[in-house]
Chain A
Amino acid sequence: QVHLQESGPGLVKPSETLSLTCTVSGGSISSFYWNWIRQPAGKGLEWIGRIYTSGSTSYNPSLESRVTMSIDTSKKQIFLSLTSVTAADTAVYFCARSPQSIFDHWGQGTLVTVSA
C-alpha cells in the first residue's frame, strides 16, 4: 500500500521560505511524477508543480518564480521550496503521485500558515 506523508513547519514567517518534504513508503519512487498541490481554506485546489524521478520539473507559471522542487530517490523523498511567502500562501499542501497525469495516490496534507 503506497503511503505519502507530507512534513515540515506548520508556521512560516512572511518573506521567508516554506520548505516541505514528502516521504514515500510502501512503493517505488521511480518512474513516477511527484506533484505538489495546495488548497487555501475555503478555496479550490491549485497545482504547484511536479518532478519526475529523473529530476525534470514543471511548475505552475503563477508560482514558477518562487518554487523549487527536488527529489532524493535513495531516501524516497520529494522536496518543495517556496520563497518569499505571504499570507496568500497559507494552505494545506498535498503531495501526490502520478503515473503520467493522473493523481492516483495522495498524502493527507499538511497545513502551513504564513504569519508573523
Chain B
Amino acid sequence: DIQMTQSPSSLSASVGDKVTITCQASQDITNYLNWYQHKPGRPPKLLIYEASNSQTGVPSRFHGSGSGTDFTFTINGLQPDDFATYFCHQYAILPFTFGPGTTVDIK
C-alpha cells in the first residue's frame, strides 16, 4: 500500500494567516491526490482534486500544488470557517489511502 504522511499533525493559527500543510507519498503518485476538509459531525468536503484543481464552489484561498511524491496545500488568508481537519488522499493505486490529517485550530 502507498503510505501517506502529513505534516504538521496540528497547528494553531489566526484569522488572516497563511497556512501550509504538506503531504508525502511513499511512492510516485503523479498528480493523483485530493485534499479534503472535515469538521466534526459533518461530511468531509472535497476541496482540491488532481493535486491542484479546485472543486466547484471552493473559495480561491484554498490552493494545492505538487506532483510525484510531494504535495502542498495552502490556505491564503485563514477564515473563521476554515478551522477544521484537512487530509490528503491518493488514488493512484488501490487500495486508496489517506494522510492522517492536520487539525487547524484557533491560536
Contacting pair A108 B95 (CB below 8 A): no
Instruction: Provide the bound-state CA to CA distance between A40 and B95, in Å.
Output: 18
Stretch from A13-21, A79-87, A98-106 at the B interface: A98-106
| Known contacts A4-B43, A108-B43; A103 and B34 CB within 8 A of each other | yes
- Least Cβ distance of A82 to chain B in Å? 15
Is residue B86 within 8 Å, beta carbon to beta carbon, of the partner chain? no
- Least Cβ distance of B49 to chain A in Å? 5
Instruction: Provide the bound-state CA to CA distance between A59 and B42, in Å.
Output: 25
Contacting pair B100 A101 (CB below 8 A): no
Contacts of A107 in B (CB 8 A): 43
Q: Is the interface of B mostly helix, strand, loop or mixed?
A: loop
Is residue B77 within 8 Å, beta carbon to beta carbon, of the partner chain? no
| Known contacts A47-B97, A47-B98; A103 and B42 CB within 8 A of each other | no
CB closest residue in chain B, given A35: B96
Contacting pair B49 A44 (CB below 8 A): no
Instruction: Provide the bound-state CA to CA distance between A100 and B98, in Å.
Output: 17
CB closest residue in chain B, given A6: B43
| Known contacts A44-B87, A44-B101, A108-B41; A103 and B46 CB within 8 A of each other | yes
For the complex of A and B, 8 pairs with smallest distance between CB atoms: A101-B91, A106-B43, A45-B98, A47-B96, A60-B95, A44-B100, A102-B49, A106-B44
Identify the B interface with A (CB < 8 A): 32, 34, 36, 41-46, 49-50, 55, 87, 89, 91, 94-101
